[in-house]
Amino acid sequence: MQSEYVIIGAGSAGCAIAYRLAEAGKRVIVIEYGGTDAGPFIQMPAALSYPMNMSRYDWGYQSEPEPHLGGRKLACPRGKVIGGSSSINGMVYVRGHAGDFDHWSDSGAQGWAYADVLPYFKRMEHWHGSETPSEWRGTDGPLHISRGPRDNPLTQAFTEAGAQAGYAVTSDYNGEQQEGFGAMEATIWKGQRWSAANAYLRPAQKTGRVEVVKALAQRVVIEDGRAVGVEVLRGGAKQVIWAEAEVIIAASAINSPKLLMLSGIGPAAHLAEHGINVIADRPGVGQNLQDHLEMYIQMSATQPVSLYKYWNLFGKGLLGAQWLFTRTGLATSNQFESAGFIRSRAGVPYPDVQFHFLPLAVRYDGKVAAEGHGFQAHVGPMRSASRGAVTLRSADPAAAPEIRFNYMSDPQDWEDFRTCIRLTREIFAQPAFDPYRGHEIQPGADLQTDAELDEAIREHAESAYHPCGTCRMGRADDVNAVVDPETRVIGVDGLRVADSSIFPRITNGNLNGPSIMVGEKAADHILGRTPLPPSNAQPKIAENWETSQR
């Protein structure tokens, strides 16, 4: 089998690249080990806690015991399905802050400043957030972005409470001003999950130029320093899918570095340990692993206004049937309909704390609080200094890699996390919640001292499932960079990596949006096109950031 381009991974970035290459008349083979994304578990927004916990759709990765979290192993779901993690995620759409991308550019990813990436965000978006057009948003891209109905009184109360606590209200956190409280955005369209598969891959397949091959990528075949194909395991037999032009790895922040290492690209000593011939000694492969850690601050509700009344077999069945037959009702929303982005302290120039508000007290795996009616905010620091690594467990491509996030290894993280909890409590204490506020379920109002909060964090903090950074983009002469600013793997020809693994530093908020943007921009580099002209738009930064927290 052969094609002009071979893409490993039908996830957020891979689907976008396939679409843009097909649009340009190129022939593409996409290798994806996961199966179909058909069926209500994936396509119904409210069912989001199911696919993430199903081995059929998820690689089922876990971290190694985390030394700073009491030796807990944390779940690290990654999509093993058409659409990748965009088919099993929470559907929350956040671009990231302008300051994040300017930091990328400053750290060696030239051409990836906010002015450079904004045109790509606009190109990919079909925004339904407002009747009035916005110079910040795109309206004819493949990726539909909508807002939930925000009918639940708790959802409204959260934004009001943010304002009462002295924070800004923003009409669009993905537009001119991220900082503040307002409506959450989601990759949902006409009541259905609008994954990268729905947005990009299916239209690309309809051109007849994109073929999806179900197989497990084993390694990139490299001859005379050039990537020429991908060795796969397909139907129990090994074969090579040849690439006439280039191989593009878009297999996630976990699997992309793993594939590079299996292909002989990575830290030489580590590869030698596993008997892998070194083709390019790149010490940065698998390093620089970052994620967002968060905690659910849960309150009981004194009125039966939360979604708890549907949290039984009958209620779920009713909503599911309504969705199945009419694509209407509560199941058309991921229920994350209010958001907040704030700064943790004075002197931080742009938000470093994110809130996801949910009008239900529930865990991510769908287990509801025994208390009954309640509500919660997911909160955590956005720019932790902690760094981890993805390394090989063995040279067997079927073996899961070793994932060490090294969460909370930086002392600042503890201070920031305690601040997050206290700021959330302050918001929940505002008058907007007076009609609904019961007692604090988690961590519990009796936990007040630094030591008590640290213990709660150690026990209850969970990953927000935003791994990135393991094939860092940087200058070609940067020894720890893995790809250059055109996403080319440094030291090997005809090979690129384009997904969240190339992020130099984690962005503010959920990573699906920036991952798709990486695919969009990488496609232009692959096609040898001049990048879209940079934007002159100037985002708002709080004027008092140097002296005030809000």
End residue of a domain, out of 418, 437, 460? 460
Give me the mean pLDDT over the 359-368 stretch. 80
**What's the rounded Cα separation, in Å, for the pair 471 and 280?**
14
H helices of 237-298, in order, are 252-262, 268-273
- We report the CATH number of the domain holding residue 49 as 3.50.50.60
Looking at residue 352, what is its pLDDT? 98
Co-location of 337 and 420 in the same domain = yes
Looking at residue 362, what is its pLDDT? 86
End residue of a domain, out of 440, 460, 480? 460
H helices of 59-168, in order, are 98-106, 114-124, 153-164
Phi, psi torsion values for 32, nearest 5 degrees: -140, 125
- Catalytic residues, which ones? 466
Angle (CA) 257-113-291 rounded to 5° is: 40
pLDDT tier for residue 16 given thresholds of 50, 70 and 90:
very high
Place of tokens 């969009």: 520
Co-location of 167 and 207 in the same domain = no
Summarize pLDDT for 449-482 with one digit per residue, the tens.
999 999 999 999 999 999 999 999 999 999 999 9
**What's the rounded Cα separation, in Å, for the pair 519 and 14?**
6
473 appears as a binding residue in the annotation: no
In a domain, 539, yes or no: no
Longest pairwise C-alpha distance within the chain: 70
Co-location of 79 and 175 in the same domain = no
- We report the CATH number of the domain holding residue 446 as 3.30.410.40
Is pLDDT above 80 for 363? no
In a domain, 390, yes or no: no
- Residue type, position 284, single letter: G
Co-location of 86 and 17 in the same domain = yes
Token output for 427: 């918001």
In a domain, 59, yes or no: yes
Is pLDDT above 90 for 306? yes
Q: What is the mean pLDDT of the chain?
A: 97
152 appears as a binding residue in the annotation: no
52 appears as a binding residue in the annotation: no
**What's the rounded Cα separation, in Å, for the pair 231 and 212?**
15
End residue of a domain, out of 442, 460, 478? 460
Distance of CA 87 to the CA centre of its chain: 11
Which among 162, 264, 175 has a CA at the least distance from the CA of 221? Answer: 264
Co-location of 54 and 176 in the same domain = no
Co-location of 175 and 252 in the same domain = no
Looking at residue 49, what is its pLDDT? 87
91 appears as a binding residue in the annotation: yes
Instruction: Indicate the DSSP class of residue 77.
Output: -
In a domain, 542, yes or no: no
**What's the rounded Cα separation, in Å, for the pair 244 and 248?**
12
In a domain, 346, yes or no: yes
Q: For the chain, how many structural domains are there in total?
A: 2
Q: How many CA atoms within 13 Å lie on the side-chain side of 23?
A: 16
Is pLDDT above 90 for 368? no
Looking at residue 121, what is its pLDDT? 98
Looking at residue 364, what is its pLDDT? 66
In a domain, 401, yes or no: no
Co-location of 4 and 48 in the same domain = yes
Co-location of 369 and 447 in the same domain = yes
Beta bridge partners of 402: 391
Co-location of 317 and 442 in the same domain = yes
Looking at residue 255, what is its pLDDT? 98
The percentage of the chain sitting over the pLDDT mark of 70, rounded to a whole number, equals 99
Give me the mean pLDDT over the 500-520 stretch. 98
Query: Which residue range is the domain that position 482 belongs to?
Result: 1-65+73-110+195-284+468-533
Is pLDDT above 90 for 53? no
Give me the mean pLDDT over the 154-182 stretch. 98
Do 464 and 293 contact (CB within 8 A), yes or no?
Answer: yes
Co-location of 297 and 221 in the same domain = no
Looking at residue 290, what is its pLDDT? 98
92 appears as a binding residue in the annotation: yes
In a domain, 133, yes or no: no
Is pLDDT above 80 for 61? yes
Summarize pLDDT for 240-287 with one digit per residue, the tens.
999 999 999 999 999 999 999 999 999 999 999 999 999 999 999 999
Beta bridge partners of 280: 265
Looking at residue 369, what is its pLDDT? 72
Place of tokens 């369209």: 189
Co-location of 375 and 504 in the same domain = no
Token output for 165: 């606590």
Summarize pLDDT for 311-343 with one digit per residue, the tens.
888 999 999 999 999 999 999 999 999 999 999
The percentage of the chain sitting over the pLDDT mark of 90, rounded to a whole number, equals 96
Which among 36, 21, 31 has a CA at the least distance from the CA of 1? Answer: 31
**What's the rounded Cα separation, in Å, for the pair 241 and 251?**
16
Is pLDDT above 90 for 348? yes
In a domain, 48, yes or no: yes
Lowest mean pLDDT among 47-61, 74-88, 341-355, 488-502: 47-61
Is pLDDT above 90 for 123? yes
Co-location of 39 and 98 in the same domain = yes
Q: How many CA atoms within 13 Å lie on the side-chain side of 153?
A: 13
